Amino acid sequence: MSIRLRLTFWYVSLLAVMLALFSSFIYVLFERNLTEEIDNSLNDRATEMIRILATAPTPFASRIPTAVDAFASGEFFIQLVGADGEILDRSSNLGRQQIPVLPESLARIARTGADFETIDADRHRLRVFTLPLVSNGRVIGFLQVARSLEDLKATMGRLRQVLLVGSGFILVVAFLTGSLIARRALRPIDRITQTAQRIGASGNLTERVKTRSPQDEIGRLASTFNWMLDRLAQAYSRLEQTLAAQRRFIADASHELRTPLTTVLGNLDFLTRHGNLKDPDLREALADARSEAERMSRLVEDLLFLARADAGQRLQKTTTRADEIVREVVRQARRLARGQTVEAGPIDPATIVASPDHFKQLLLILVDNAIKYTPPGGEIRISACLEGDPPELAIAIADTGPGIAPEALPHIFERFYRAEQARGGTGAGLGLAIARWLADEHGGRIEVSSQLGVGSVFTVRLPALATPEAAPLLNATTAA
């Protein structure tokens, strides 16, 4: 949920609580005022009734219907009750009904004086005012004046409906208004977000956030963000300079080392072919020197290749028959194998956009890696299959080597990284890094699956353009 919606919900929730408290206060106050008005009217009617009854010669000796009915009306009901609770007289508007008489209430009123009660009578609620009639210091009866609360109930129902509908309308308006206010208040943050996204997408660290109110909280945030961009741009500039210097150093060093290494290798070859090497120790020393010189030469070539890649080298690509290059790699793998069986799996005809030499180099790196770690008698299988829509060429190079530990899999494409089982090899840990860069340059990727003790499968996936006629499979051979 966005901050704008959270702010709006908090604002509306707070307003809802305040409206609920205010509506409850109004409802209770209005109900109390109306009840007090009814009580006052009942008290006034009872007081008037007492004054009339006091002038009667024998108030409770006989019925006085005219006196009672004179104070009764459509909304007032009057009833005279004896001291023993017997109903002596009641107004005619009660009809066959009567005001309920509760002996415990009469006993309490006889002790404490007049009191108001709310009583349920025949599906109606009545507000009853009971006044004790005292003669010569003793209670001789009670006067009850009642009024229906149905009008009060209807009035309170209408008030409740008005409060609920009004509060709902206010909350809806508050939600819409609060959403607009929150959106307007947070618009500068949206601008900061959009600027950050543009900078992240373009890498242009010279762009800055513009703010209209630099003294408020959002203005200070924008200023802080711009200050951070300044520091980041400076750090990035220094890093770019350092990396450029490093790339130049690697490229220059690699270029300068190639010449003396070539000279050393040439001299070693000359001594090996034409020298008088009768001493076995001398021959062994020359062989070791030549092996190390060859290793250093490969390392220099790899470093020079990666330096050029880091400097932004782009491959010249053209439409290429991938299946023909895969078959060439299979044939070359059989010549390079050292006792391993190289098999050709299905090789689907496919056309890709690639640099033929570099595409072949990518596959040879993976093949050389498989040969290096597959023991004699093991098997290496190379296949190329079209998959998916749009079509994708999946070139799989599977071996039966020792496999790669799960903890090493995420790191095998890092430069100079070598798994524990490869520590004793002759590689420098740059081949797979070069292979990944070549796959990326061709718009593809390399996937690896491996199981210890079973083997590994390196799969190069590249976008395919066309599917020519099927090519025949190469027969499996075993290199001597």
Cis peptide before 406 (omega within 30 of 0): no
Closest among 110, 116, 136, 117 to 43, alpha carbons compared: 116
SS3 state of residue 158: helix
Q: Return the higher-pLDDT residue of 375 and 304.
A: 375
**What pLDDT is stored for residue 469 in this prediction?**
45
**What pLDDT is stored for residue 474 in this prediction?**
42
Residue with tokens 């450029």: 244
CB distance 419 to 427 below 8 Å: no
The pLDDT of 46-69, averaged and rounded, is 60
Secondary structure E strands in 300-430:
318-321, 341-347, 351-354, 379-387, 392-399
Residue 289 predicted with pLDDT over 60: yes
Which of 57-71, 135-149, 296-310, 380-394 has the highest mean predicted lDDT (pLDDT)? 380-394
DSSP code at position 425? S
Q: Residue 202, class by beta-carbon neighbours within 10 Å (0-12 exposed, 13-18 middle, 19+ buried)?
A: exposed
Rounded Cα distance between 151 and 126, Å, is 11
Q: Return the higher-pLDDT residue of 190 and 308.
A: 190
CB distance 427 to 351 below 8 Å: no
CB distance 321 to 351 below 8 Å: yes
**What pLDDT is stored for residue 158 in this prediction?**
92
Rounded Cα distance between 309 and 290, Å, is 29
Q: Lowest-confidence range among 198-207, 255-264, 369-378, 429-438?
A: 255-264
SS3 state of residue 368: helix
For residue 139, is it left (φ>0), alpha (ψ between -120 and 50) or beta? beta
The fourth-level CATH superfamily of domain 3-155 is PAS domain (3.30.450.20)
Tell me the CA end-to-end span of the chain in Å, nearest whole number: 67
Quote the tokens at residue 338.
Answer: 């050292």
**What pLDDT is stored for residue 478 in this prediction?**
40
CB distance 286 to 272 below 8 Å: yes
Which of 79-93, 210-224, 280-294, 362-376 has the highest mean predicted lDDT (pLDDT)? 362-376
The fourth-level CATH superfamily of domain 318-478 is Histidine kinase-like ATPase, C-terminal domain (3.30.565.10)
Q: Read out DSSP for 138-149?
A: EEEEEEEEEEES
Average pLDDT, the chain: 79
Alpha helices in 313-376 (DSSP H): 322-336, 356-373
Rounded Cα distance between 27 and 37, Å, is 15
pTM: 0.44
276 pLDDT tier (thresholds 50, 70, 90): low
Residue 238 predicted with pLDDT over 90: no
Q: Return the higher-pLDDT residue of 185 and 286.
A: 185
- The two beta strands, 379-387 and 341-347, are parallel
CB distance 363 to 395 below 8 Å: yes
Quote the tokens at residue 274.
Answer: 């034409």
Q: How many residues comprise the chain?
A: 480
**What pLDDT is stored for residue 472 in this prediction?**
44
- Give CA angle at 70 (69, 74), nearest 5°: 65
Rounded Cα distance between 59 and 107, Å, is 21
Quote the tokens at residue 270.
Answer: 């000359």
DSSP code at position 466? B
Q: Read out DSSP for 194-243?
A: HHHHHHHHH--TT-----S-TTSHHHHHHHHHHHHHHHHHHHHHHHHHHH
Rounded Cα distance between 196 and 224, Å, is 13
The ranges assigned to domains in the chain are: 3-155, 218-310, 318-478
Residue 395 predicted with pLDDT over 90: yes
Q: Which residues contact 134 (CB under 8 A, 6 or more apart)?
A: 140
Can you say how many angstroms the Cα of residue 109 is from the centroid of all Cα atoms in its chain?
69
User: Which residue type does 56 have?
Assistant: A
* CATH tag for 218-310 (out of 1.10.287.180, 1.10.10.10, 1.10.287.130, 3.30.70.20): 1.10.287.130
CB distance 330 to 382 below 8 Å: yes
CB distance 366 to 430 below 8 Å: no
Quote the tokens at residue 167.
Answer: 């509060």
CB distance 455 to 398 below 8 Å: yes
**What pLDDT is stored for residue 427 in this prediction?**
52
Q: What are the C-alpha distances in Å from 228 to residues 205, 209, 212, 220, 223?
A: 10, 11, 19, 12, 9
Can you say how many angstroms the Cα of residue 374 is from the centroid of all Cα atoms in its chain?
45
The H or E element containing residue 435 is: helix 431-441
- As beta bridge partners, residue 146 has 77, 128
Rounded Cα distance between 355 and 324, Å, is 13
